[in-house]
């Protein structure tokens, strides 16, 4: 292999996907699928032997569900882990994680999220590391997970 040719080299770390915990998978999908445009590419019901039980410290009696989500050209980039049959505590503030998504129809996403009753923060001005100017908006899903959406108009790229 020629110097600088990394096509065959395997990175020591590969980002697989983000994961949010939700109380009701179908309700969560009304946002992730119905508003943001993710597609469910895999879905699984309760598995009492799931590795998620010890690592998420899920209490006895909880029912688990799981969905892997994809976007066009971005397979399996998001997962939703449903923990049902128990009360989930509110996500403490300040929020400790978020996903950040570039969306082409920012106003439509904001409107649809608002119609679902989700918290949509007032729009902010985004300035990227390379000086491009855009718009950004935070949306809190049904379970307190933060999704930040943004758009940088093509005339500023």
Q: Which of 23, 51, 86 is the last residue of a domain?
A: 86
- What pLDDT band is residue 154 in, cutting at 50, 70 and 90? confident
For residues 89 and 133, the model is more confident at 133
The residue range of the domain holding 49 is: 15-86
In angstroms, the CA 48 to CA 46 distance is 6
Instruction: Compute the C-alpha angle 22/69/18, nearest 5°.
Output: 65
Range 115-134 average pLDDT:
97
Q: Which of 86, 120, 146 is the last residue of a domain?
A: 86
- Whether 145 is in a domain gets the answer yes
User: What tokens appear for 116 in the block?
Assistant: 């679902």
**Residues near 11 by Cβ (< 8 Å), separated by ≥ 6?**
none
Query: Are residue 138 and residue 113 in the same domain, yes or no?
Result: yes
Query: Are residue 79 and residue 28 in the same domain, yes or no?
Result: yes
SS3 69: strand
Q: Is pLDDT above 50 for 1?
A: no
- Whether 100 is in a domain gets the answer yes
Instruction: Report the DSSP pairing between strands 74-84 and 18-22.
Output: parallel
Query: Are residue 146 and residue 129 in the same domain, yes or no?
Result: yes
CATH number of domain containing 154: 3.10.180.10
**Per-residue pLDDT reduced to its tens digit, 50-101:** 999 999 999 989 999 999 999 999 999 999 999 999 999 888 899 999 999 9
- What pLDDT band is residue 9 in, cutting at 50, 70 and 90? confident
Query: Are residue 129 and residue 157 in the same domain, yes or no?
Result: yes
- Whether 9 is in a domain gets the answer no
Q: Is pLDDT above 80 for 5?
A: no
Domain count, the chain: 2
């Amino acid at each position: 292999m020629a110097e600088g040719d990394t096509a065959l080299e395997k990175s020591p770390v590969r980002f697989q996907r983000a994961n949010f915990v939700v109380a009701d998978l179908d309700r969560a999908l009304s946002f992730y699928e119905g508003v943001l445009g993710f597609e469910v590419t895999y879905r699984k019901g309760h598995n009492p032997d799931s590795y998620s039980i010890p690592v998420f410290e899920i209490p006895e009696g909880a029912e688990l569900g799981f969905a892997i989500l994809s976007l066009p050209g971005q397979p399996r980039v998001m997962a939703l882990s449903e923990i049902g049959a128990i009360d989930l505590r509110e996500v403490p503030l300040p929020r400790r994680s978020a996903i950040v998504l570039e969306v082409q129809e920012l106003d439509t996403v904001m409107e649809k999220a608002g119609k679902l009753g989700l918290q949509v923060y007032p729009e902010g001005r985004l300035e990227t590391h390379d000086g491009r100017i855009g718009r950004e908006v935070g949306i809190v899903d049904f379970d307190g997970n933060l999704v930040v959406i943004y758009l940088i108009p093509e005339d500023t790229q």
